Amino acid sequence: MKAQRITLDDIATLAGVTKMTVSRYLRTPEKVKPETAERIASVIAEVGYQPDADNPAISSNIAPRIGVLIPSFNNQIFADVLAGIESVTTAHGYQTLVVNYDYDSQREEEQIATVLAMNVKALLLTESVHTLRADKYLKAAKIPIAEVMGLSDNAGRINVGFDNYRAGFDMTNMLLASGKTQIIYFGSMSDIRDEQRYAGYCKAMEEAGLTVGRIAPNKVSSVSIGTGMMTLARQMYKEMDAILCTNDDLAVGVLQECLASGITVPQEMAIAGFHGLEIGQIVNPRLASVLTPRFEMGKVATEILIKKIKGLPTIEKVDLHYRLSMGETI
């Protein structure tokens, strides 16, 4: 027996609004009250509703869209990922619908529901761990979904990234090979990627028979936060001789504090960052870092999504790897 198709009337009934309100939400969501829009979006995501492409309620001359969720607009890492995404979408006639969730899993859940209700053809996520409800929305969606920035085993989803655990392990070993033994890990938001890098660091330190140390402020990384973390670490870890930071901006803050305090780098203090951002490559001395393929992750994931949209055969798991740079701070 053929399954009954969900209609706008059904969505309206479940959300407790009129069909006209649902139709308005699908056309111009900004004209619907936020609490009403959130309720409609949640219902649409919950039931996996996909509007008809030729439905006058949602059809227009706009190009097909790919939804993109990022945790921050104020971050070069995700700006680079977006540049990679848009290098492909522009060439293929797609638009990107980009939303931010401020490193908040509940906010990400809400944004996933909202974007899925916008008739996007595919969805690109920068997290691989979601709330139970968000996972339910994603499993109900009938569109290709990609996750970037790390390696994961989420069934049915495209995955393009690199091994954060191994990167943390390898960079810690580079610091150890330089003769440093009191290495402290500086985290930021303690998200899954941060935790994987820390686990890699811990494994390398354990294999070397050394004690681990960590400072995790649970804040979005910045140069000023890195400076403050260095001040705290000098009080907590008197013997430290190296610092591994989860982001380059933290590492630049550490470097600035060292230079201001007369601590020679790398002789007295080795410093390594993560991502190979421009800010770390223009400072003196040039920052050691894990160089990550941010533009390529966005580009490759989007190429795969578009192939999936078109029903073309394609790979679904890609490890783009990373490179280590000693810079001048190890």
Q: What percent of the chain has pLDDT over 90?
A: 72
Q: CA nearest 97: which of 89, 105, 88?
A: 89
Query: Do 117 and 173 belong to one domain?
Result: no
Per residue in 192-227, pLDDT (tens digit) is 999 999 999 999 999 999 999 999 998 888 999 999
Query: Is residue 296 domain-resident?
Result: no
Q: Are residues 50 and 72 in the same domain?
A: no
Q: In the prediction, which pLDDT does 61 show?
A: 55
Q: Give yes or no: residues 76 and 19 share one domain.
A: no
Between CA 310 and CA 318, with CA 316 as vertex, the angle to 5 degrees is: 130
156 with 305, same domain? Answer: yes
For the cut 60, the answer to whether the pLDDT of residue 9 exceeds it is yes
19: domain CATH number? 1.10.260.40
Same domain, 23 and 55: yes
Residue 56: its pLDDT value, please? 46
pLDDT score, position 50:
66
Residue written as token pair 């999936």: 308
β-pair type (242-245, 214-215): unpaired
Residue 3: its pLDDT value, please?
46
Cα–Cα distance, 88 to 90 (Å, whole number): 6
Task: Find the Cα–Cα–Cα–Cα dihedral 126, 129, 132, 137, rounded to 10°.
Answer: 30
Strands (DSSP E) contained in 162-252 are: 183-186, 214-215, 242-245
Residue 130 contacts residue 104 (beta carbons within 8 Å) = no
Rounded to an integer, the average pLDDT of 122-130 is 94
Report the alpha-carbon angle 135-149-111, nearest 5.
40
Q: Are residues 21 and 139 in the same domain?
A: no
Task: Give pLDDT, residue 132.
Answer: 92
* Confidence at residue 62, expressed as pLDDT on a 0 to 100 scale: 66
Q: Is 67 domain-assigned?
A: yes
The domain that contains 96 carries what CATH number?
A: 3.40.50.2300
pLDDT of residue 10: 77
The verdict on 80 and 199 lying in the same domain is no
**Residue 42 shares a structural domain with residue 70:** no
pLDDT of 277: 96
Mean predicted confidence (pLDDT) in 288-315: 97
124 and 113 in a common domain:
yes
Q: Give 34-89 pLDDT, tens digit per residue.
A: 788 888 888 887 777 766 554 544 445 568 999 999 998 888 999 999 999 999 99
Identify the pLDDT of residue 263: 97
| Whether residues 56 and 66 fall in one domain | no
The total number of structural domains in the chain stands at: 3
At 1 the pLDDT is: 35
- pLDDT band at 25, cuts 50/70/90? confident
Question: Structure tokens of 288?
Answer: 């050691």
Would residue 328 count as lying in a domain? no
Q: What is the largest CA-CA distance in the chain?
A: 77
Cα dist. 47→41, 97, 107, 217 in Å? 10, 21, 20, 38
Query: Would residue 325 count as lying in a domain?
Result: no
Under DSSP, the state recorded for 113 is H
Asked whether residue 197 falls in the same domain as residue 108, the answer is no
Range of the domain at 273: 164-291
On whether residue 114 sits in a domain, the answer given is: yes
Could you report the per-residue pLDDT of 156-177, keeping only the tens digit for each? 999 999 999 999 999 999 999 9
Output the pLDDT for position 200: 98
Work out the pLDDT band at 145, boundaries 50, 70, 90: very high
Whether residues 84 and 189 fall in one domain: no
Q: Which of 40, 61, 82 is the last residue of a domain?
A: 61
Q: Is residue 210 part of a domain?
A: yes
Edge-to-edge order in the sheet of strand 183-186: 214-215, 183-186, 242-245, 270-275, 288-291, 323-325
Instruction: Kindly report the average pLDDT of the chain as a whole number.
Output: 90
Tell me if 329 is assigned to some domain. Answer: no
**Does residue 330 fall inside a structural domain?**
no
Structure tokens that stand for 66 in this block: 């790919």
Over residues 241-250, the pLDDT tens digits come to: 999 999 999 9
Domain C-terminal end among 36, 61, 86:
61
Supply the pLDDT for residue 54: 46
Cβ(140)–Cβ(112) below 8 Å: no
